[in-house]
Structure 1
Amino acid sequence: MTWLVALSAILHREALRFVGQRSRFVAALVRPLVWLFVFAAGFRAALGLSITPPYQTYITYEIYIIPGLCGMILLFNGMQSSLSLVYDREMGSMRLLLTAPLPRWWLLFSKLLAGTLVSILQCAAFLAVAAVWGIRLPLVGYLVVIPALLLSGLMLGALGLMLSSFIRQLENFAGVMNFVIFPMFFLSSALYPLWRMAEASPRLRDLCTLNPFTHAVELIRFALYGQANLMAALWVTVALAVFSAAALRGYDPARGVQNRKG
């Protein structure tokens, strides 16, 4: 019961922060919408797409990048939530949270889950705007995609949590975000299929294949069409476990004491 109380308190705090920062919600929508309305329109004729799963017919470029833009929302919001962790640590509130008489992994998971749920709400708003614009997906996909968004959001949030555990200053974390977000986004299948990347460079295609964000995008892509991509789900789950383990180690107080002694 105490664990649930802590979880609800963290969720409530994150919800209040989200409601109080409406500009954050608007910015999270403007970014993918600009890519959808401007970038996709400019590259529609330049980037031809073949019939590849889960698509059973030719599609427009706007439809192709929808899963990648959902991944973009999860990625940016995961890093933004981790940025707030660094701020909370500088202000001292993070220290108070971790001193609660509960397992540290549960407190960090609660924080991670709260940020992911906010990301899912932003993805839902984005998909609604896209549907109004005329980009409609199978109705079953809007339900099946929720677990895919949850798993992918947890993985990307855990990545940000891992980075925040090793970066001590707010200014440094903001700089590191750019070196993580943009390579992960562009070296993925968010904007172009992997076979198109292989035509340009097989090595770049291999890097895209190793990128966990690629598998998160493909997991979302198949889920939007009511299909399961088990291989992508496995890769995302493995990445979630690795990032979470590294974050727990980074937030280990014994490790911090050893660092100060060193």
Structure 2
Amino acid sequence: MQDDTLNPQVGLAQLAPRRGIAHALQGLQAIVLRELIKFSQQKGRLLSALVRPLLWLAVFAAGFRNVFGVAIVEPYDTYIPYDVYIAPGLAGMVLLFNGMQSSLAMVYDREMGLMRLLLTSPLPRAWLLFCKLCATALLSVLQALAFVIVAVLLGTDLPLLSLGGLNALLALACGAMMLGALGLLLSVYIKQLENFAGTMNFVIFPMYFMSTALYPLWKLQESGAEWVYQLARFNPFTHAVEWIRFALYGKDPGLAPWVVLGCLAVFFMLACWGYDPQRGFGGLTKRGGGPP
């Protein structure tokens, strides 16, 4: 009987999948490290990411601390100050803005930067987009953690050193992935860098203000803003914030994780479809400037 291990064709067939996996992991490592190095060289990027939520926490929350009380509702077991309530929402704000800014970076990279070359590499385009998504989510989580640390130093009482803190970290990561996937999807349609202002006005601000980041849903319903209440209920960002908030206190987040993970899958699949030059709707081939 012939020993198959001495057959060079069999040996190559067995090694090919390993080389494929190694190549894919090498691509993931390269893209993530590139984003981390680029982030470390942009000195003001972390500061600019923290200024917005810290301004809300230090000024807005301080002004409404004694005016806007939060009743005893899940996941809280007692009355809480306003800054404690909005802290998860402000961490979500960091994820939201970084996820949307990733679409701006993707437009630049796709037209003039490294992604223009990467999208023509032998690796599957969906894997390259996933690598980019992982890099974006990692940066988002790091910035959100930096905000949480500063918030605690400013006196916001959050149960970080607990099992709930680890659960909240998972919720942060999944929320970052979902919002990063939304940023990828938006980058399919953003043709020029100047169009990012429209993204701010029609995506970021509505998603943030029509959510539970700043006020609970029952406050919206109680005030008679029924249409805002319904929009907030179906806003994916609401479920990302609620997952973080409930996980932080070790409570059951209900359907929030499933909504976040479901939206992540849908956004990412649509982004992969849009970046496919053969099938993309609003696709790259219709612009005349995208990679082949």
- Superposition TM-score, scaled by structure 1 size: 0.95
Equivalent position to 2:286, from 255, 259, 262: 259
Query: In 2 relative to 1, CA 99–50 (structure 1 residues): closer, same or farther, beyond 3 Å?
Result: same
Counterpart mapping for 1:146-225 below 5 A: 146-200=169-223, 201-225=225-249
Q: Which residue is equivalent to 1:28?
A: 49
Segments ≥4 residues shifted beyond 6 Å: none
Superposed CA RMSD in Å reads: 1.5
Q: Give the percent of matched residue pairs that are identical in Structure 1 and Structure 2.
A: 58
Between Structure 1 and Structure 2, the one with more helix by share is 1
Q: CA deviation at 1:257?
A: 6.9
Query: Contact conserved, 1:83 with 1:174, CA < 8 A, in 2?
Result: no
Q: Which residue is equivalent to 2:168?
A: 145
C-alpha offsets along residues 147-191 of structure 1, whole Å, 9 cap, x if unaligned?
101110010111111000112111113322332110000000000
Q: Which residue is equivalent to 1:6?
A: 27
Q: Which has the higher contact order (CA 8 A, sep 6+)?
A: 1
Query: Contact conserved, 1:164 with 1:173, CA < 8 A, in 2?
Result: no
Q: Which protein shows a greater Rg?
A: 2
Q: CA deviation at 1:82?
A: 1.5
CA distance in 2, matches of 1:257, 1:182: 27
CA distance in 1, matches of 2:134, 2:95: 12
Equivalent position to 2:250, from 226, 240, 244: 226
CA distance in 1, matches of 2:147, 2:286: 43
Corresponding position: 1:242 with 2:266? yes
| Corresponding letter in the other structure for 2:213 | A
C-alpha offsets along residues 55-75 of structure 1, whole Å, 9 cap, x if unaligned?
000000000000000100000
| Corresponding letter in the other structure for 1:259 | K
| Bigger mean CA deviation after superposition, 94-103 or 222-231 | 222-231
- Superposition TM-score, scaled by structure 2 size: 0.86
Q: Gaps spanning 5+ residues in structure 2: where?
A: 1-21
Query: Contact conserved, 1:158 with 1:247, CA < 8 A, in 2?
Result: yes
| Corresponding letter in the other structure for 2:97 | F
| Bigger mean CA deviation after superposition, 7-16 or 250-259 | 250-259
Q: Gaps spanning 5+ residues in structure 1: where?
A: none
Q: CA deviation at 1:230?
A: 3.6
Q: How many residues align?
A: 261
Query: In 2 relative to 1, CA 260–218 (structure 1 residues): closer, same or farther, beyond 3 Å?
Result: closer
C-alpha offsets along residues 198-226 of structure 1, whole Å, 9 cap, x if unaligned?
11212211110010000000001011112
CA distance in 2, matches of 1:179, 1:257: 22
CA distance in 2, matches of 1:85, 1:257: 13
Corresponding position: 1:54 with 2:78? no
Q: Which residue is equivalent to 2:147?
A: 126
| Corresponding letter in the other structure for 2:286 | N
